[in-house]
Chains A and B, each alone.
Chain A
């Protein structure tokens, strides 16, 4: 195996283009090294992106934030401005594995690994985050909601990498939240998860909303009908009932030992509802 640690994005793209055999990107390594250890992959070339300066930073960009592809989840938790603007995204990032894992793992890696149960992805989708992709043809952007194509499959083309994920400018009176169900309190993978992002207008009425669910379909998914149920409401019982029904209707989960279809569907509506209430309070809404 060859190990390369370029210092520029252009050199990383070049390395991906030149590499012979199987080439893998290394950011936090909390998925890649486990797959190597288990013998699931045998990379010929590993391209470590952590020496690329632009990928190691959380920057304010266009009124929002740009989180570099090599920024660890622990670093996101240490960034007060990011936490204040996007508490739901940060709490999702800080639910991945242990403190040790968070010292390494990245939300971009979480996204690229494309697990349907990835914790940070529903929160990024609810936040309307954009992935900034670099490749031989230059830069392109894609909504995180459209990034995953299926379990372990992304819309990245050969020789492309995700440089950063961008969180948009946050209007006043906005809030987001992420919740997941696991059968224990720590160190587990979501059986079901839900993320909600809201912006309030006059008198605490929801003006904009985005709702996303995780682990209930082949990819984390945006649920526009659930968002629609919240818009124009103050999260009264009728609106929350509609949201819960929309969340349940959006579920197409697997049936396995970690959760039956019935359980996952039910929990999706419960978590959607609870996440909406937390996001509403964070946005300054009074219930």
Chain B
């Protein structure tokens, strides 16, 4: 059964047609061009397809496209402010917290969700919060350092404002 779905992605209204059994991951990539959302395992283990769905961090491979009707989605494509990178993106670059890059959008979304809830997490809290994101290149250490550094920058900015 084909379905017409209206949804909001990174603040923009979007409509797409998909089969009822299609995952939101496939709808985002193939129907809406959001290829920052990556498929790793397709079974919720690796976190490469992480998105925010109505403010909740989820794996888009475990959501049906049809479920997105009327919901608000945030992907890595909406993270920067125009050409100005989000502090997390900037710090991932500075700390070389990526190699092949497949896991990076998922890590960025999950790290952003963490910092919104807990602006000053401990290293242990960061490691637990990112346990649902797998990286086979970096060994995680650089990722954790990048998140810690981004938290520092974001907290400083918050205090100024």
Contacts and interface: CB of A to CB of B under 8 A. Distances in A.
Contact-residue bracket for chain A: 20 to 34
Contacts of B43: 34, 37-38
A18 interface: no
B23 interface: yes
B53 A103 contact: yes
Contact of B3 (A3, A50, A104): A3
Given A1-B21, A46-B20, A98 B132 contact: yes
A187 to B, nearest CB: 5
Contact of A1 (B20, B58, B133): B20
B127 to A, nearest CB: 8
Interface in A172-189: 185-187
A2 B21 CA distance: 8
Given A33-B23, A34-B44, A104 B56 contact: yes
Interface of A: 1-3, 5, 26, 28-30, 33-34, 36-38, 43, 46, 48, 50, 72, 74, 97-101, 103-104, 185-187
B67 A50 contact: yes
Contacts of B113: 99
B44 A97 contact: yes
A33 to B, nearest CB: 5
B54 to A, nearest CB: 10
Contact of A33 (B62, B129, B132): B62
B132 A99 contact: yes
Contact of B56 (A33, A74, A98): A74
B132 to A, nearest CB: 2
B34 interface: no
Nearest to A3: B20
A104 B20 contact: no
B151 interface: no
Nearest to B55: A103
Contacts of B19: 1
A43 B1 CA distance: 12
14 contacts: A1-B19, A1-B20, A3-B3, A34-B44, A37-B23, A98-B131, A99-B110, A99-B129, A99-B131, A100-B50, A100-B110, A100-B132, A101-B44, A101-B62
